[in-house]
Amino acid sequence: MDTEFPGVIFRPGTEKHQYSHLSPTFNYRLMKANVDALNLIQLGLTLSDPYGNLPDFGTPFSHIWEFNFSDFNLDSDYQNPESITLLKNQGIDFDRNRQEGIDSQVFASILVRAGLSFPIPNSPSLGSPSTVYFGGSVLDMKHVIKYCDGLYGGLERVAKALDVDRVAGKSHQAGSDSLLTMKTFLKLRDLYFNGDGDAELDQFDLVLHGLELELKKLAESIGLVWVRPVGIGCNALLLIGRSRCFLVKLAVMTLDNKAARNLSPLVVRLFAEVY
C-alpha cells in the first residue's frame, strides 16, 4: 500500500536528529494531528501471492490499483508547498483530480458496505468499544529494515540497494509505489529471511515505525478491542482517528475469488485519511 498526501504540516519542535528519541505517544499524536488536518490525494494498492504474482482475473494483464481523490483543494486546503511541488513534478494533476477524482465519502461508503470499515462511536457512552479487525499480518517495512544490515532510508533507496527496479509509473505515484513496496519486500524477505522467513518475520508483526508500539497495545490505549478473525475472505485493518469519523487505516485485503485467493500479507505503510 502507498498513499500520497499534501506533505507534513505539523512537525516536532526538535532537531531532526532527535526525532528517534520522541516517545511513541508523542509520535502518535503528531501523526494524528497531520491526519486530521489533511486530505488524501492518492491511494495505491498492490495485492500478490507469496511469489509476487499479481491478480489477473483471467486476463492477460496484471492488476494493481490507484485511486485519485477529489477532496484536496490546492487553493484552500492545508499543504506543504515543497510536497505539492514534488507531486506536480511527478505528474499529479490536481485540477483533474478535483474534476474527475473520487469523492472520499463515496469511496468510504463503498468500503463500509463491503464490510471493510465501520463507524467508530462518538463517545464511550454509545456502548462497547469499537472492534478492530486485523487479518493476517501487518509488517511495516520501515521498521523491518532497521534489522537488515546495510538497509536504511526511504523506499527508493532501499529498492535500489536491493536491485529492485520500478516496472511501472513514477515515484510518488501511489500505485507505482505500492507495487515497488511489494517487490522490495519480497526481495528483502528472500535475502534476509531465507525466502521463507514467516517465523522470523513474526517478531516484526504489528509493530509500526516511529510508534515502536504493538498495534494491539495502541488499539487498547485508545479504547478499541482487538480481534483476529478467522475465515473472513476479505479483511481490512481499521485504526486511529477522530471518534466522529469513518476510518480506513492500515489496509490488508484479500480477494475471495479464484484469481486472487490466499494472498500473502502485504507490507503496508502507515496511512491515515479520515473519511
Instruction: Count the domains in the chain.
Output: 1
Per residue of the chain (275 residues), what is the pLDDT tens digit?
888 999 999 988 887 777 777 777 787 788 888 888 999 999 998 988 888 899 999 999 999 999 999 999 999 999 999 999 999 999 999 999 999 999 988 988 887 777 665 554 443 333 344 445 545 567 788 888 888 888 988 899 999 999 999 988 888 899 999 999 999 999 998 888 876 556 677 777 777 777 766 556 666 665 555 554 433 322 233 332 222 222 333 333 333 333 223 322 222 222 232 22
H-type alpha helices, 67-173: 81-89, 94-100, 104-113, 141-144, 155-161
Cα distances from 7 to residues 158, 195, 264, in angstroms, run: 21, 35, 30
C-beta atoms surrounding 27 within 10 Å: 18
- Taking the C-alpha atoms of residue 179 and residue 251, their distance in angstroms, rounded to an integer, is 15
Grid cell at residue 238: 481499521
Residues of the domain holding 27: 2-274
Whether residue 178 contacts residue 269, with contact meaning beta carbons closer than 8 Å, is answered with no
Confidence at residue 76, expressed as pLDDT on a 0 to 100 scale: 94
CATH number, domain of 194, equals: 3.30.420.10
Cα distances from 129 to residues 53, 212, 215, 219, 246, in angstroms, run: 38, 24, 16, 10, 15
Confidence at residue 59, expressed as pLDDT on a 0 to 100 scale: 92
Pairing of strands 247-248, 273-274: antiparallel
Confidence at residue 144, expressed as pLDDT on a 0 to 100 scale: 87
H-type alpha helices, the chain: 24-37, 81-89, 94-100, 104-113, 141-144, 155-161, 174-192, 198-201, 215-221
- Residue 145: closest CA among 134, 156, 135: 156
Grid cell at residue 179: 507495487
- Residue 28: closest CA among 155, 215, 205, 153: 215
Task: With 0.75 as the threshold, say if the pTM is over it.
Answer: no
Q: Give the long-range contacts of residues 14-20, CB within 8 A, separation 24 or more.
A: none
